[in-house]
Amino acid sequence: MIHRSVIGSVERAVAHLLDTHGGALPAWLAPVQVAVLPVTAAELPNAEDLARRCADLGLRAEVTGPEDGGLGARVRRVRLVPYQAVIGPAEAGGDHVALRLRDGRRIPSRPARDVLARIAALTGSHSTDLWSTTAPC
């Protein structure tokens, strides 16, 4: 008989995490940390560029484009993703991003560089806070 207590304890730990957080894992542990949502196909190149910049910072990002449905449906689909970066015509023109947080808060349009730096700092510190006023940037 082979005893697999190490594997069982890892499974129990993951089950406890999922149960405690209702499937909404902390940002540093979430499989997708940033969902990039272009409003229309015209903003798709900007969205793909933002996802690439996320990857350059070590963030796991995914673009959910307009071919996947309306903006409201896409927001509902990615509701467990900690950060939802919405890029509309105004944001695309100025390299800005409007941010929706998983907890329902909305951060007004800000420069993408600043937003990504703050997200990278929060996830890098393994913080459970999604948007801190004391974070750098």
Which pTM value belongs to this model? 0.84
Has residue 134 got a pLDDT over 90?
Answer: no
Has residue 85 got a pLDDT over 90?
Answer: yes
Q: Mind listing the pLDDT tens digit for each residue in 18-68?
A: 888 787 888 998 999 999 999 999 999 999 999 999 999 999 999 999 999
Residue type, 110: R
Question: What average pLDDT does the structure give for the chain?
Answer: 89
